Amino acid sequence: MSPRLEYHIVDVFTDVPFAGNPLAVVLGAEALSTVQLQTLARQFQLSETAFPLVATPEEIARGVDYRLRIFTTTAELPFAGHPSVGSAWVMAQLGRVQPGPIVQLCLEGELPLTVEPGGGPVQLTGGRPFVSAPIDPAPLLAAIGLVDADQPAGSPPPRLAGMGLDFAYLPVQPEALDRARPDLAALGRLDSGASAGPIGVYALAWDPATRTARARMFSDDVAGGEDPATGSAALGLGVWLVESGLLPADGPSAYTVRQGVEMGRASTLSCTAEAVGGAVAIARVSGDVAAVAQGWIEIPAP
């Protein structure tokens, strides 16, 4: 029998199976090439597949617990939220890291996480904050089948924002979220002028009373054009909210994201943004993880 790799399927940002955002976590892939890792991600056909790898002695000396490579079905990502949260949870469940603070090294850099004991939530701290000047809402609306009237009167302008991976934040009416439909070709034509890679359109309806965003994230690089729970976008949302004056300009603020409802994969992302002088310095996102399946997969040919 040819060599095989252990894998785990988990649902992230939910405490029950078959909700949240599914993730494949493949172990023991240190010797595989980038082409082989991409082949495995294509086989799983999930929005992302994550590969936790043993850190080098030099990385361990810096405090790194493990390296993480993240792939969509078509490309490697510098960082992503639900693969980071889900991988940390799996590693803790298997005893490969201890509950508490850990450090993950991905292409974006060293990112801290905190794993609660007993299979509890995992908290991820985002990378470098970024926010752009206002951008034109018209192509964003068109790419998800909406029009100008679907924006709330007096709402803040859309902007690109992120903390490791950038998204276009587009405020819309709550009822418009139900009608949004991704146009994959139009999404593929979006050009940020500032952010490398595909641009995700993060449509959101903000409730200031509860500090809750009901959200949908559309991109041409995820299956069906929509992602059920986007941790990296939830981090960037804090940057956009502070820049837009919807969260305080100084101090910590908690906010919640509800996503995936329209897909039948309800997700809850609990977030905190810490602002200084009107700009986010640190943002964190946390959520539960539910185990779904595990098994073995063949190693692709080099």
Position 2 scores a pLDDT of 61
Q: Residue 269 pLDDT > 60, yes or no?
A: yes
User: Which has more pLDDT, 161 or 1?
Assistant: 161
Each residue's pLDDT tens digit, 216-240: 999 998 888 999 999 999 999 999 9
Whether CATH 3.10.310.10 fits 130-287 = yes
- Same CATH fold assignment for domains 4-123+288-298 and 130-287: yes
The pLDDT, as a whole number, for residue 195 is 46
Across 157-183, average pLDDT: 96
pLDDT at 194: 46
- Give CA angle at 234 (230, 239), nearest 5°: 145
Q: What is the pLDDT of residues 86-119, one digit of tens each?
A: 999 999 999 999 999 999 999 999 999 999 999 9
Pull the structure tokens for residue 144. 């998800």
Percentage, residues of the chain above pLDDT 90: 92
Q: Across all residues in the chain, what is the average pLDDT?
A: 95
Query: Rounded distance, CA 283 to CA 128, Å?
Result: 10
Q: Rounded to an integer, what distance in angstroms lies between the CA atom of residue 7 and that of residue 293? A: 8
Q: Strands 226-227 and 212-218, how do they pair?
A: antiparallel
CA distance 286 to 289: 10
Q: What is the pLDDT of residue 197?
A: 55
Q: CA–CA separation, 111 vs 77, rounded Å?
A: 14
**Tens of pLDDT along 43-81?**
999 999 999 999 999 999 999 999 999 999 999 999 999
Asked if pLDDT for residue 127 goes beyond 50, the answer is yes
**Residue 3: what pLDDT?**
85
> Parallel, antiparallel, or unpaired for β 166-171 and 21-26?
unpaired
Predicted pLDDT of residue 280: 98
Tokens at 58, concatenated: 């030099």
Residue 183 to residue 174: CA distance in whole angstroms: 20
Q: Where are the domains of the chain?
A: 4-123+288-298, 130-287
pLDDT band at residue 192 under the 50/70/90 scheme: low
Q: Which residues are catalytic?
A: 48
What's the confidence (pLDDT) of residue 223?
Answer: 82
pLDDT band of residue 193 (cuts 50, 70, 90) is: low
Candidate CATH numbers 3.40.640.10, 3.40.630.30, 3.40.50.300, 3.10.310.10; the one for domain 4-123+288-298: 3.10.310.10
Above 70 in pLDDT, residue 188? yes
